[in-house]
Amino acid sequence: MERQSDGGTWTRGKIIGRGSFGTVSLATTKGKFIKRRQSNFPPLIAVKWAEVSHSETLQKEREILTKLQGCPHILRCYGDEITTTAGNGDLIYNILLEYASGGTLASLIKNSNGGLPEAKVKRYTRSILQGLNHIHNHGYVHCDLKPQNILLVPCSSSSMGTTHIDFIAKIADFSSTKKNTVRQRKKWKGFQDLSLRGTPLYMSPESVARKEQEAPSDIWALGCIVAEMITGKPAWNCEPDMNVDELLSRIGSGNELPEIPNEMSKEGKEFLKRCFVRNSMFRFTADMLLHHSFLSEDTNETKEGEGGQTTPELLNGSKLQLTSSCAEELASEGRKRRRLKFLC
C-alpha cells in the first residue's frame, strides 16, 4: 500500500493495530502547532483510518463518538480529517483518537498469569459500567463489548504525598454500535434487527436465539469480561476443538450459564449472578450494577457518568418488583469455524 500522508497538525507513525473496518497508526502532533497552541489534542494520538470509499463504518463511528463525548470512560475522539496517499493521491478518512498507552484489557489479562487481583477487577469494572451507563442513557448499544475493546489510558493518582501513574479503563471501537430499538419494538410488534453483531464468546442468549441486541446484551458481555479478568480465561469453558456453532448452541439454547469463579468474593459472585440472567428482562441495568456492593468499596473512583435513578428499573423499562429479601439487599448495596482461536 502507498505511504499514507500526514494530517494538518499531526504526523503519522507506525501501525499499532488492524481491524475489519480500519487500520490504527500512532501519530504525533507537529511541534510548531503545540508551541502555538493550535492543536486541541495531546502530543501522542491514535489515528484510525481507511480509504474513503471503504470508510462508511468509520464515519458512523465518528458520529457516535461525537454524540457520546464528555464521558471519561469512553475513548476520546478529537475529530476527523481526510488525507491522501503519497503516491497516487487516494483519499484516506482518518479518525483522531485518544492514545491508550496501557494497551488493551485483553493483553493485560493474557499477561496476568491466571487473572487480575479482585481490587483491580472492581476498579476496571466500575469504569466500564460508567461508560456503559453513558452509552445506554444516550440510546445506544455497544454490541461488541469484550476485553479487546477496552483500552487502558494512564491517569495520575496521589497517595501519601506521592504521585504515581495508574490506568483507567475506557470503552473503544464503536464500529458495531447501534441505536437501542426497544421503543420501536413496542410501537411496531414483530420488528427485529436481524444484523447480528459481536463476538461469539461474549454474546448473550437472546442475541444468539432471537438476534435481539439491546442494552441487556452489553450487561451479559460485561459479566463475561469480569469473569475473564478474575480467572484469566474466557467465561465459557470450551474445549480446544469446539467450533463456533457448538458454542452458539450452548449460549442460545438450554439453561446453561457461564461458570462463576470460585475464587471471587461473595459480593463478586452475586454481582455476576445479576449479569448472567438468561431472561434479558430481568438482568440488572448498568445503573443498578453501579450500586452493587461488589463495587461499593471503590471510593476513590470517579463518579462521573453514573446514573441518578432513585428507583431501579430493569432493562425493559419496567419498575423492579422485589421480594423483601431482595429489596433489603438492594437498599444495602445502594448504601455502602471456525475454531475457538477465531472466536475472539
Active site amino acids: 144
CB 180, CB 139: distance < 8 Å: yes
Helix, strand or coil, per DSSP, at residue 226: helix
CB 274, CB 292: distance < 8 Å: yes
Torsion of the alpha carbons at 4, 8, 9 and 14, rounded to the nearest 10 = 0
Q: Residue 206 carries which DSSP code?
A: H
Buried (b) or exposed (e) across 253-275, using 16+ Cβ within 10 A? eeeebbebbeebeebbebbbebb
What's the per-residue H, E or C state across 141-193? ECCCCCHHHEEEEEEEEEECCEEEEEEEEEECCCCCCEECCHHHHHHCCCCCC
48 labelled binding-site residue: yes
SS3 content of the chain, % helix, strand, coil (to 5): 35, 20, 45
Helix, strand or coil, per DSSP, at residue 215: helix
Count of C-beta atoms within a 10 Å radius of residue 36: 10
Distance CA 128, CA 271 (A): 14
Cell of residue 189, nine digits: 410488534
Distance from first CA to last CA of the chain, Å, rounded?
27
Known binding residues for ATP are 48
Known binding residues are 48
